[in-house]
């Protein structure tokens, strides 16, 4: 009875232990009462994590953007600097020769350049220039050693530039300028308009008669025994000479050169003395342009004319009758004396 109970208990104990092993996941160890030995399974126990596993953090993939990705500017991109080419050796300057210009600077005349002292083998090129005060420049097509002047250069200053070129040297340029400006050739004075139509002539040319003081002459009547100079501003550059007449009756004063934009007109005592006393008009006309200016002149009576007319004595308050009577009496007394002397002699 005891044995049966013991086995039963033993069996129950074994079943209970097996259940615990299954529930707890532990290895079953046989009881000493059990006849066969149970070898533990050679299984590798899986580690039991003490905490819940956390997945590794993954960076989110950026969503595509509609904005264009800026490209790096050329200045941000490092570039390698090219190695500079070696500089060409500087050539020496060509030794300069000289240039001179000859000829009368008158429209229609030919100017000639002369060069000396340039190294052998030098090639020379020429360029004529003209200057008008603050402006001017090269004369188009004037590239030979000679140049014939035209009206376009009138009142300008001519120059010649010569450039020398020779292999192995840098080119050299020298220049020569004429001191005398170019003038038009003087022409015979043009025929003066008739005094009867002078006023119409001046009106048609839109000319206003200026006072004589505008020409640097004194105000009032000019003394016909003195000489004066009228100074006229003349800005028409095509004119080298002007013709001058004085009216009432047209009398040629002369043709005079335009110098630096002005004309000087001499009014001699002989000219003024030959004019009747009173108002006159000085008419100036450009030989090339035909432009006209006019200046008033007032001439005092001539001393010779005043004596002839007795006007000079009248101006002083003296009478011409007394002197003439006295002269007649003296003449008669002289005649009487001559007659008496002849009688005495006889």
242-282: per-residue pLDDT in tens? Answer: 999 999 889 999 999 998 889 999 999 999 999 999 999 99
Region of 57 on the Ramachandran plot (φ > 0 left; ψ -120 to 50 alpha; else beta): beta
pLDDT at residue number 83: 77
- The verdict on 161 and 213 lying in the same domain is no
- For the question of whether the overall pTM of this predicted structure is more than 0.95, the answer is no
Q: Is residue 136 within 8 Å of residue 130, measured between CB atoms?
A: yes
Does a structural domain hold residue 1?
no
pLDDT at residue number 79: 62
Q: Is residue 320 within 8 Å of residue 311, measured between CB atoms?
A: no
pLDDT tens, position by position, 149-168 = 999 998 899 999 999 999 99
More confident residue, 338 or 82: 82
pLDDT at residue number 78: 57
Domain boundary among 146, 177, 208: 177
pLDDT at residue number 87: 76
- The verdict on 202 and 249 lying in the same domain is yes
- The verdict on 244 and 281 lying in the same domain is yes
**Among the ranges 39-53, 193-207, 282-296, which has the highest mean pLDDT value?**
282-296
Beta strand 209-210 with 292-299: parallel, antiparallel or unpaired?
Answer: parallel
pLDDT at residue number 60: 57
Secondary structure (3-state) at 316: helix
Query: How far is CA 173 from each of CA 103, 162, 169, rounded to the nearest angstrom?
Result: 22, 6, 13
Does a structural domain hold residue 81?
no
User: Is pLDDT of 312 > 60?
Assistant: no
Q: Report d(CA 169, CA 292) in Å as an integer.
A: 56
Q: Is residue 214 within 8 Å of residue 231, measured between CB atoms?
A: no
Does a structural domain hold residue 111?
yes
Q: Tell me, what CATH number does 144's domain have?
A: 2.60.40.2700
Q: Out of 75-79, 198-202, 304-308, which region has the weakest mean confidence (pLDDT)?
A: 304-308
- The verdict on 208 and 263 lying in the same domain is yes
- The verdict on 229 and 298 lying in the same domain is yes
User: Is pLDDT of 63 > 70?
Assistant: no
| Mean pLDDT over each residue of the chain, to the nearest integer | 76
Range of 206's domain?
Answer: 195-304
Q: Out of 3-7, 132-136, 312-316, which region has the weakest mean confidence (pLDDT)?
A: 312-316
Q: Is residue 232 within 8 Å of residue 265, measured between CB atoms?
A: yes
Mean pLDDT calculated for residue range 160-183: 95
Does a structural domain hold residue 245?
yes
Does a structural domain hold residue 234?
yes
Q: Is residue 121 within 8 Å of residue 166, measured between CB atoms?
A: yes
pLDDT tens, position by position, 186-230 = 999 988 888 888 999 999 999 999 999 999 999 999 999 999 999
Mean pLDDT calculated for residue range 53-71: 54
More confident residue, 36 or 17: 17
Rg for the chain, CA atoms, rounded:
64
Does a structural domain hold residue 30?
no
Mean pLDDT calculated for residue range 230-234: 96
More confident residue, 10 or 251: 251
Q: Report d(CA 267, CA 225) in Å as an integer.
A: 11
Q: Tell me, what CATH number does 262's domain have?
A: 2.60.40.10
- The verdict on 333 and 232 lying in the same domain is no
pLDDT tens, position by position, 100-144 = 999 999 999 999 999 999 999 999 999 999 998 888 899 999 999
Residue 5 pLDDT grade (very low, low, confident, very high; cuts 50, 70, 90)? very low
Number of independent structural domains in the chain? 3
Does a structural domain hold residue 84?
no
Mean pLDDT calculated for residue range 175-195: 91
% of the chain residues with pLDDT over 70: 64
């Amino acid at each position: 009875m005891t044995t049966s109970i013991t086995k039963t208990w033993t069996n129950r104990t074994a079943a209970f232990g097996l259940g615990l092993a299954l529930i707890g996941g532990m290895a079953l160890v046989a009881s000493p009462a059990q006849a066969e030995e149970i070898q533990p399974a050679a299984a590798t126990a899986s580690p039991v994590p003490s905490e819940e596993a956390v997945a590794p953090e993954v960076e989110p993939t950026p969503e595509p953007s509609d904005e264009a990705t800026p490209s790096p500017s050329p200045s941000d991109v490092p570039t390698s600097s090219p190695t500079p080419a070696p500089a060409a050796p500087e050539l020496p300057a060509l030794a300069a020769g000289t240039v001179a210009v000859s000829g009368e600077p008158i429209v229609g005349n030919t100017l000639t350049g002369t060069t000396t002292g340039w190294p052998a083998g030098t090639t020379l090129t020429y360029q004529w220039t003209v200057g008008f005060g603050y402006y001017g420049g090269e004369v188009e097509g004037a590239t030979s050693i000679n140049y014939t002047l035209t009206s376009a250069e009138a009142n300008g200053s001519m120059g010649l530039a010569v450039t020398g070129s020779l292999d192995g040297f840098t080119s050299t340029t020298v220049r020569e300028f004429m001191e005398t400006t170019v003038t038009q050739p003087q022409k015979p004075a043009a025929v003066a308009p008739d005094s009867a139509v002078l006023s119409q002539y001046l009106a048609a040319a839109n000319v206003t008669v200026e006072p004589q003081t505008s020409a640097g002459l004194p105000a009032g009547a000019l003394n016909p025994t003195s000489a004066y100079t009228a100074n006229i501003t003349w800005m028409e550059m095509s004119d080298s000479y002007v013709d001058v007449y004085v009216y009432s009756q047209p009398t040629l004063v002369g043709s005079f050169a335009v110098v630096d934009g002005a004309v000087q007109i001499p009014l001699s005592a002989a000219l003024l003395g030959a004019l009747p006393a009173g108002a006159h008009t000085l008419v100036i006309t450009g030989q090339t342009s035909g432009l006209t200016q006019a200046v008033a002149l007032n001439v005092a009576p001539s001393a010779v004319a005043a004596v002839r007319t007795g006007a000079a004595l009248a101006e002083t308050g003296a009478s011409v009758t007394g002197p003439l009577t006295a002269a007649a009496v003296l003449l008669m007394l002289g005649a009487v004396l001559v007659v008496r002397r002849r009688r005495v002699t006889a």
